[in-house]
Structure 1
């Protein structure tokens, strides 16, 4: 076990619709983010995550995503190692989200 779970695009959409309290972080590059991101997400490129962990609320569930799920799984493992207890990786990343025609801003 890596200390984190996966969440599907449908589950994330449901969390948003229920106005559930959670932190959504996009770990893609600035160039990728310029093409759009999931509403409510905070952009922290993966390589800057270690310097940004102090800004993230440990009390809320934490959801990471990237393009397809690889970089965000690294972010999840890192966050779990830093003592975050509720950490989720968006399965399929923003690609999986977009494939379901969910909104990108």
Structure 2
């Protein structure tokens, strides 16, 4: 991180953060096993009835659903950080501001 910090680290951190957010959305979606739970959680997070029904009843895989716009609206980056996920880019910036 010290040697490649300025040139390559920034892009690597952004890609890793995006992948982690995607993976966490997948795990959250997988944790909501039942259609009823998926529907009610999507409704709680502000998704309208039609979209919540469509995605809760979808037979698509977890990874594919976690890329959907609906799940990105329901589970935002801000919500993930509120739940305890650290933002890697902020950690990197704070590291270089100190040094």
Relative contact order (alpha carbons < 8 A, sep ≥ 6): 1 or 2 greater? 1
Which structure features the higher share of helix residues?
2
**TM-score over 0.5 for the pair:** no
TM-score with structure 2 length normalisation? 0.25
Which of the two has higher C-alpha Rg? 2
Which structure features the higher share of strand residues?
1
